[in-house]
Amino acid sequence: MRIVAGSRKGHRIEAPTGLVTRPTSDRVRESVFSILGPVEDARVLDLFAGSGAMGLEALSRGAASCVFVERSRAACRVIERNLERLRLEGGVVLCREAARALRDDVESGRRYDLVLVDAPYEGWAGHEPALGELLPAVLEPGAVAVVETAAGTEPSLPLDLVTTRRYGSARITVLSR
């Protein structure tokens, strides 16, 4: 995997080993950021970050900051190594459950311009209720959430649909507040 565009274009990204993490492909990342347009100075939250590819892409494209949330300690170490190797500033890695991180953000009043959500495909139904409850509260007015699910899954979150597109076995749904 490589960074698709921005200041670190072409640089390799390490991914956690094993079958648990499913990094978003270069093609899908390129498509997502084409849909989003410029992300300069955006405050980004990358939930279920895995390798951190989406958040790293945002930082490379000029995002001001990115909070990477991932429960796997091994994946958190990979994200930290990627940040260090790419010399990207503004990245913070939180090794915890996504719902807990969202609750903390809601309680502290933290808001984001872009939230990236890539929950495990098979676990989407279990994560969707908490995301539906908490996600709108951490989005700035006009902010966008990008949700990756299995191609046959259409997320039902209390946000406005911008677009949804299928890419092989994946579906990308862009929502706004």
DSSP secondary structure string for all residues of 71-101? S-HHHHHHHHHHHHHHT--SEEEE-S-HHHH
Q: Domain 26-176 falls in which CATH fold?
A: Rossmann fold (3.40.50)
Q: What is the pLDDT along the chain (177 residues), one digit of tens a residue?
A: 777 777 777 688 888 776 455 567 778 888 999 999 999 999 999 999 998 999 999 999 999 999 999 999 999 999 999 999 999 999 999 999 999 999 999 999 999 999 999 999 999 999 999 999 999 999 999 999 999 999 999 999 999 999 999 999 999 999 998
> 8: Cβ–Cβ under 8 A, 6 or more apart, which residues?
56, 59, 60, 86, 88
CB distance 113 to 140 below 8 Å: yes
Rounded to two decimals, the pTM is 0.92
Q: Which amino acid is at 155?
A: P
